[in-house]
Amino acid sequence: MFIVTNRQVDEAATDVESAFEPTPNHMGPNELRLAEALRVGRKWKIRILPDQITPEMAQEAGLDSHVDPQTGAPYFVDHYVARRMLARINPASATGRAPGRTTARGRNLVFFVHGFNNDVAAVIDRAEKFEKQFGVEVLVFTWPADGGGIKGVASYRSDKRDALASTGALDRCLAFIHKHLELINQDNLRRIEAEATSRFARDSEQWDRFFSAATHRICPFSLTMVLHSMGNYLYKNLLKSSNYRGNLLIFDNVLLVAADTNNQDHVGWTEAIPSRSRTFVTINENDSALRASRLKMGEQQKARLGHYPYELLSRKLIYVDFTDAPHVGDSHAYFEGQALRNARVRAFFQGALNGDRAEIDLHYDLSRNVYRPG
């Protein structure tokens, strides 16, 4: 899988512990680096990618050259990663065939932003579980959420500062994703127009019919963002800043899972989240990690959105309350582990991560404006 980070990296290291440091990039917290993680036995092998691609990387990505033929400048690494990921999630586009005219099976894409006190090994282990359990491809954004090497209240406050400092890096990452989706769309349109012309150059009605049908299939994969725990606090501060591009329409579904942000006044910023389909807010009143986050900060820490099943006031958001659902318990990460023994919990995350209407089989409590899996 591929990783985007604003951590300081060691380009010579290949083990996950040495490749990523628990501090922001020395050139500034907005500086991004990309890496590839490969599972070798029980361990991860890390390849920190250069900022500009090499001829060997161009060949890996199926490019004719490592240089842009229009500008003569070397391609940057985000172009390489986009091509490699596209080959996995949308084989039709990657092979140059018209959308919908291949039997190769694609995968949906999940952009995952982790939470408090997570080292990179734990983050990519979790992302790998997403891939295996839900059949998706995961792009990870990891920020310096290691507590600064300290524990307890000081660690929590350190990570909140790092989350605030990482908003610019997350913004740049979203801009890269948006740019490459636009490039994919433009390439597909050119391909469809060329095929329509070759088939129906003298029949404009047939040309229009073919073009309309083909463009309807132009993006046969969904893109979902999963924000876990304090990752929601990071994204909230991005949305609230007028200097950033948090309003880009990129994702089909957005999941605010176990959100470590205030429940109070959440409607304003959460309803500003751009999504083509749905924005889900998941809740577990018994969530041990969110209970602990309130204790760490004392009375100044208000009820967390991810564990407070009251004042769910938005008519745009879809609230899903997992409290007391069988096998969920006090989990802070009920998209994995024992919680998935509950078929409805598993079905919810299977649908949500794949861009579907995941609430459709859940029970809706009108009086509380919340869905429950039972």
The closest alpha carbon to 191, from 82, 337, 93, belongs to: 93
pLDDT of residue 217: 66
User: Is residue 233 pLDDT above 70, yes or no?
Assistant: yes
- CA 89 to each of CA 96, 221, 225: distance values in angstroms, whole numbers, following the listed order: 14, 7, 15
| Cβ contact 274:251 at 8 Å | yes
Residue 271's pLDDT band (boundaries 50, 70, 90)? very high
pLDDT of residue 210: 83
Residue 140's pLDDT band (boundaries 50, 70, 90)? very high
Q: What is the mean pLDDT of the chain?
A: 89
Q: How much of the chain, in percent, has pLDDT values that exceed 90?
A: 68
Query: Nearest 10 degrees: CA dihedral of 169, 172, 178, 184?
Result: -100
pTM of the model: 0.89
For 65, other C-beta atoms within 10 Å of its C-beta total 12
Cα end-to-end span (Å), the chain:
34
| Cβ contact 253:135 at 8 Å | no
pLDDT of residue 143: 96
Q: What is the pLDDT of residues 153-174, one digit of tens each?
A: 667 777 788 899 999 999 999 9
Residue 69's pLDDT band (boundaries 50, 70, 90)? confident
